[in-house]
A and B are shown apart, each in its own frame.
Chain A
Amino acid sequence: MIKAEWFYWLVGLSFLVMAAQMFTDRSNPRRFGTGAFWGLIGAGFIYSSWVVTKQAPAAPLGGAVLVMAVLAGFGCTGRGTPRTTTPEERAAGAARLGSKLFVPALTIPAVAMVCAVGLKHVSFGGEPLLQEGSETILGLGLGAVVALVIGMIMLREKRPSVPVQAGRSMLEAMGWAMLLPQMLATLGAIFQVSGVGTQVGKLATAVLPEDSLYVAIVVYCVGMFLFTIIMGNAFAAFPVMTAAVGWPVLVGHFDGNPAAVLAIGMLAGFCGTLVTPMAANFNIVPAALLELKDQYGPIKAQLPTAGVLLGCNVVFMALFAF
């Protein structure tokens, strides 16, 4: 069976190799901080395997995470001059190789698709080939590895250091944004155990007047939207808002259709995901990956759509659920 943890080790290992390159890159004025940051992430990826199975304490990893945050937060990380090709060389490469260049790039989605659809059901000797529940992650990982092999052969590139260098300079360009989604997931968990959710639920019930169906619908949808903005994740908002308003008031008191109320309520939360920097993996990481100067660029592009769709969800709930 191919396990998800193997791919976490591969990711961790490639971060470690890239960190070693960063330490020796004299073109980077902050090479030690940069190397330490990515080295810690890489080591953390591997150590996490034992944290997940409770065989190792989580506190040292937590300490390492805070060190990473301090390294990146106080500007101890930087980037070197990427060793890459000139625009002329790229244009020549495109002219020479043509659309063959798309083959490895499209291999990633193609393998991901095969894993999600086909290999999901394949098993050897009673054990599934891909770890259950991790098929999509494994598909992406396998796709990347297969694509790299195809790319190296096709481009007749014999030095493995070349793709590692290329990946490394993209990592350096993204910097702290890479770690933010994982930090935010942690914050969500801390909010949960500290009772932030129950407090927000109480607030929502407090502003809710009795016996007004339309106000209750708006409170549920807008509550999902705002709570998602705070938590960065509709999944964290859903249980709280549903326990406070969705189920007791909309389904219980007003006798709404539960499937419609809950499905549309969740989508109102998704409108919040579109506009919050707390959903860093969707909003901040792409900005870094696309080398935008304005890290809120994607959020600004999504804001009007999110507003209109929130309104749509309120209307749909009122129309279809009651």
Chain B
Amino acid sequence: MIVLLGVLVVVIGFATKRNPLLVVGVAGIVTGFLGGLSPGKILAAFGEGFANSRAVTIFAITLPVIGLLERYGLQEQARNLIARFAGLTTGRFLTLYLGLRQLGAAVGLNNVFGPAQTVRPLAVPMAEGAAERKHGPLPERTREKLRSFAASADNVGLFFGEDVFLAVGSILLITGFVNTSYGTHLEPLHLALWAIPTAVCAFVVHGWRLLRLDRQLERDLLTAHAGTPVVEATQ
């Protein structure tokens, strides 16, 4: 039971807003010691963990080209483009993005979209452009909310689309674990089929919340324009 103290370290650390890197480092060391690992083993665990998880950081390779294009006005052009589609409000645009993200993941194209590849350079300026066309410059709080929702559309679409695809990690993990542990034979196709109801629900629920965002923006901006002064975007 005592190894669960490591979990407690994480919870307290995040709750008191310490730097997450320190929290995780301390939690790892504490849990390792409580679990009976030697200092050398703990260091090796940190090293192996870093080496085996490099794939989550590889998106950094896209930053130079995205940064280069942003210097030449990529985000501005994304705003200009959305201005031509008068019917495409922020909420409708993000719902469209959610649907595309989900369909892409369902056919195995997980890395085609992502926060660095599509959300920052394309989805966010388009969502903001659609809102600005209607409401003028956005106060910072509204901008934050809108960007948070753009990030959420990417995540929800990915999580509840990918399990419909047969060869994705989570499906293979399920079949691998169950077939070796319990000596049965589960077909990936059956697992993928049972992911469809939740996938439909995810699109309906999150899509509905994204569509409602339009009305929320309107309300937020009415109070914001009446009260606090408008803060210009930093970029």
Contacts and interface: CB of A to CB of B under 8 A. Distances in A.
Interface of A: 7-8, 10-11, 14-15, 41, 44-45, 47-49, 51-52, 57-66, 68-70, 72-74, 84-85, 89-95, 97-99, 101-102, 104-105, 108-109, 112-113, 116-117, 136-137, 139-141, 143-145, 147-148, 151-152, 155, 157, 162-167, 169-171, 176, 178-191, 193-196, 199-200, 230, 234-235, 238-239, 242-243, 247, 258-260, 262-264, 266-267, 270, 273-274, 277-278, 280-287, 289-294, 297-298, 300-302, 304-305, 308-309, 312-313, 316, 320
Interface of B: 1, 3-4, 6-7, 10, 14, 19-22, 24-25, 27-28, 31-32, 34-37, 40, 42-78, 80-81, 108-113, 115-122, 124, 140, 144-145, 147-152, 154-156, 158-160, 163, 169-171, 173-174, 177-178, 181-182, 184, 186-187, 190-195, 197-198, 201-202, 205-206, 209, 234-235
A139 B117 CA distance: 12
Given A262-B174, A290-B120, A297 B147 contact: yes
Contact of B194 (A176, A243, A259, A294): A259
A52 B124 CA distance: 37
B3 A171 contact: no
Contacts of A312: 197-198, 201, 205
A90 B14 CA distance: 39
Contacts of A10: 61
A97 B198 contact: no
A163 B111 contact: no
B120 A186 contact: no
A290 B24 contact: no
B194 A92 contact: no
Contacts of A234: 170
B148 A297 contact: yes
- Interface of chain A: mostly helix, strand, loop or mixed: helix
A61 B58 CA distance: 18
Contact of A181 (B42, B56, B69, B149): B56
B51 to A, nearest CB: 4
Given A61-B47, A180-B21, A290-B147, A108 B53 contact: no
B144 to A, nearest CB: 5
B70 to A, nearest CB: 7
A210 to B, nearest CB: 21
A238 B112 contact: no
